[in-house]
């Protein structure tokens, strides 16, 4: 029988190291436990294993009696503790703000060897060895070394700089525009397969932008667009993204010499969005069918009737507070809207005033004139109204009207009839909330008095009666 070879000093040290942080509190043959002194910067922080603050000592049952398994599980636990400790240290603060500070320092570094950049590279390699996620380090490095600027970060800065009363004087973005922009940027992330949102503005090259517009977006299908995204929607997305990228280039946020990718040179002329589908006014027969298919006093019937005879946007009516409605039904005070001109007082024709008084009586305990239509709080709009009307119009008038008639066509109808009634343009602009024609004296003109618009609104009502629009009113 051969005698075993005596353990060397190195073997003893290796064996001791293999047992580090391992104990069997209940004796040999029982379960192993991971145990170590808590790093100082973790004391009081939340222990992810227990949900309680770390104390002076860390203990974690390894749920095994096997020493090899215990060692493997100890190494995993030790790696998690090391990572947590590193993340709480100053070296782990790879924040967006710090990345921008590094970017400025590297740009100002005049050393021949690029000492600042080399030092940062060493820090990033050390962080990677400590288990900091590679995607986070990649994003940090691209910003710090001036190789890219994350789209997600730029988007929030852009929205902030396009907010009301911004100090740069940019035209503020409306809530709906911000939502549409976020959707467009989401399409960009999906186009890149960018789950972690680490893609940078500079990743969008001219070739990729063209592929995004001509191949990717048209391939996106939905319940509303089963054959792919509509051209008008594609055009809207591209316009929003072009403005976003133009801002980033103007503000020197993108890499030096980076060129706008949203310029599409082409020899083939494209149709403008307005040429793809043009809204028309309703004919008296079409409108009579729509009104006859609704019930006066219902949320659908009343809002269609008021939108037709007042010239208001249907959404303005759907979200209108009762506090902005004259109690006798003679006027509607629109507090805000799509443009600055949207704030106005709209006289209500005598023939429609009873409808408003009845609504105020039936819904006296409600805040809005049309409380039955829900408002999407994020944008303050009655989205369900437009969706309902599209289905309703198709049922009553057929799908052949899809490209030309919509809920908004009621405003086209009111505007058309107002012109036929010979209502002065100044009155039409003020009642409808449109921008008036500009000339040298426009700045001195502050509009007509609400009472002066009453006759014009009555003239529109009389013309609608004469033409047959109100047969089913």
Does 377 share its domain with 401? Answer: yes
Asked if residue 67 belongs to a domain, the reply is: yes
Rounded mean pLDDT of 254-282? 74
Q: Which two tokens stand for residue 252?
A: 């020197």
pLDDT tier for residue 444 given thresholds of 50, 70 and 90? very low
What pLDDT is stored for residue 443 in this prediction? 43
> pLDDT averaged over the chain?
85
The strand pair at 57-61 and 33-37 is best described as antiparallel
Given a cut of 60, is residue 70 above it in pLDDT?
yes
Does 175 share its domain with 245? Answer: yes
Q: Which two tokens stand for residue 108?
A: 């100002």
Rounded mean pLDDT of 244-270? 86
Q: Closest Cα partner for 407 from 385, 377, 431, 429? A: 385
Please report how the helices 96-108 and 115-129 are oriented relative to each other, as an axis angle in degrees rounded to 10.
150
Q: Which two tokens stand for residue 450?
A: 């609400």
| Residue in the block written with tokens 């995204």 | 229
pLDDT digits (tens, 9 = 90+) for 458-468: 999 999 999 99
Does 171 share its domain with 76? Answer: no
Rounded mean pLDDT of 172-189? 93
Say which DSSP state 216 is in. I
Asked if residue 5 belongs to a domain, the reply is: no
Return the exposure string of 108-132: e unless at least 16 CB atoms fall within 10 Å of the residue's CB, then b: eeeeeeeebbeebeebbeebeebeb
Asked if residue 10 belongs to a domain, the reply is: no
Q: Which two tokens stand for residue 133?
A: 């996620």
**DSSP line for 412-454:** HHHHHHHHHTT--HHHHHHHHTPPPPP-TTGGG-----HHHHH
Does 244 share its domain with 294? Answer: no
Indicate the residue among 276, 299, 314 that finishes a domain.
276
Rounded mean pLDDT of 346-360? 96
Domain hosting residue 125, numbered range: 91-144
Does 163 share its domain with 54? Answer: no
Q: Which two tokens stand for residue 224?
A: 């509303």
Does 258 share its domain with 290? Answer: no
With pLDDT > 90 as the criterion, what percentage of the chain qualifies? 50
Asked if residue 60 belongs to a domain, the reply is: yes
Say which DSSP state 458 is in. H
Given a cut of 60, is residue 273 above it in pLDDT?
no
What pLDDT is stored for residue 435 in this prediction? 74
Does 80 share its domain with 211? Answer: no
Does 300 share its domain with 340? Answer: yes
pLDDT digits (tens, 9 = 90+) for 183-235: 999 999 999 988 877 789 999 999 999 999 999 999 998 877 788 998 889 99
Taking the C-alpha atoms of residue 156 and residue 134, their distance in angstroms, rounded to an integer, is 23
Does 83 share its domain with 95? Answer: no
Asked if residue 473 belongs to a domain, the reply is: no
- Which of the residue ranges 89-98, 345-354, 367-376, 440-449 would you say has the lowest mean pLDDT? 440-449
* Cβ(460)–Cβ(349) below 8 Å: yes
Asked if residue 4 belongs to a domain, the reply is: no
Taking the C-alpha atoms of residue 150 and residue 223, their distance in angstroms, rounded to an integer, is 32
Q: Which stretch of DSSP H or E encloses residue 387?
A: helix 383-397
Indicate the residue among 222, 257, 276 that finishes a domain.
276
Taking the C-alpha atoms of residue 67 and residue 40, their distance in angstroms, rounded to an integer, is 29
What pLDDT is stored for residue 127 in this prediction? 79
What pLDDT is stored for residue 1 in this prediction? 39
Does 453 share its domain with 441? Answer: yes
Asked if residue 326 belongs to a domain, the reply is: yes
Asked if residue 102 belongs to a domain, the reply is: yes
pLDDT tier for residue 346 given thresholds of 50, 70 and 90? very high
Indicate the residue among 129, 144, 159 that finishes a domain.
144
The length of the chain in residues reads 473
Rounded mean pLDDT of 70-99? 74
Rounded mean pLDDT of 156-170? 92
Number of separate domains in the chain? 4
Taking the C-alpha atoms of residue 327 and residue 283, their distance in angstroms, rounded to an integer, is 32
Residue 415 CB: number of other CB atoms within 10 A? Answer: 19
Does 60 share its domain with 133? Answer: no
* Cβ(309)–Cβ(352) below 8 Å: yes
pLDDT digits (tens, 9 = 90+) for 308-336: 999 999 999 999 999 999 999 999 999 87
Does 188 share its domain with 324? Answer: no
pLDDT tier for residue 255 given thresholds of 50, 70 and 90? confident
Backbone φ, ψ for residue 57 (5° rounding):
-135, 145
Q: Closest Cα partner for 343 from 255, 405, 431, 410? A: 431
């Amino acid at each position: 029988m051969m005698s075993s070879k005596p353990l060397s000093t190195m073997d003893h040290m290796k064996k001791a190291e293999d047992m580090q942080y391992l104990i069997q509190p209940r004796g040999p043959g029982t379960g192993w436990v991971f145990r170590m002194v808590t790093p100082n910067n973790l004391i009081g922080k939340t222990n992810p294993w227990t949900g309680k603050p770390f104390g002076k000592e860390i203990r974690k049952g390894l749920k095994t009696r096997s020493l090899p398994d215990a060692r493997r599980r100890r190494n995993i636990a030790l790696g998690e503790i090391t990572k947590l400790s590193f993340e709480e240290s100053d070296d782990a603060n790879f924040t967006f703000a710090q990345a921008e500070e590094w970017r400025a320092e590297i740009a100002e570094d005049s050393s021949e060897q690029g000492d600042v950049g080399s030092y940062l590279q060493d820090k990033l390699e050390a962080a990677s060895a400590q288990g900091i996620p590679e995607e986070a380090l990649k994003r940090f490095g691209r910003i710090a070394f001036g190789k890219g600027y994350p789209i997600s970060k730029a988007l929030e800065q852009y929205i902030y700089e396009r907010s009301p009363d911004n100090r740069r004087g940019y035209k503020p973005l409306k809530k709906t525009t911000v939502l549409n922009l976020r959707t467009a940027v989401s399409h960009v992330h999906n186009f890149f397969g960018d789950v972690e949102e680490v893609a940078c503005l500079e990743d969008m090259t001219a070739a990729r932008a063209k592929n995004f517009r001509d191949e990717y977006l048209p391939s996106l299908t939905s319940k509303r667009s089963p054959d792919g995204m509509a051209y008008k929607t594609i055009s809207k997305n591209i316009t929003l993204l072009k403005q976003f990228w133009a801002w980033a280039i103007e503000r020197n946020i993108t890499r030096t010499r980076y060129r706008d990718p949203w310029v599409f040179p082409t020899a083939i002329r494209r149709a403008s969005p307005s040429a793809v589908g043009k809204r028309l006014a309703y004919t008296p027969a079409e409108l009579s069918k729509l009104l006859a298919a609704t019930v006066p006093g219902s949320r659908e019937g009343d809002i269609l009737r008021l939108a037709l005879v007042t010239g208001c946007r249907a959404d303005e009516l759907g979200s209108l507070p009762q506090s902005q409605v004259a109690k006798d039904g003679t006027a509607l005070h629109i507090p805000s809207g799509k443009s600055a001109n949207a704030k106005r007082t709209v006289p209500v024709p005598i023939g429609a005033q009873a409808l408003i008084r009845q609504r105020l009586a039936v819904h006296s305990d409600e805040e809005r004139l049309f409380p039955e239509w829900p408002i999407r709080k994020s944008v303050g709009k009655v989205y369900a109204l437009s969706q309902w009307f599209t289905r309703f119009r198709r049922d009553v008038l057929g799908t052949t009207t899809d490209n030309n008639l919509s809920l908004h066509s009621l405003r086209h109808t009111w505007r058309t009839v107002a012109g036929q009634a010979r209502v002065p343009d100044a009155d039409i602009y003020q009642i409808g909330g449109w921008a008036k024609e500009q000339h040298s004296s426009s700045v001195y003109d502050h509009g007509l008095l609400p009472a002066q618009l009453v006759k014009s609104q009555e003239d529109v009502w009389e013309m609608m009666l004469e033409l047959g629009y109100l047969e089913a009113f």
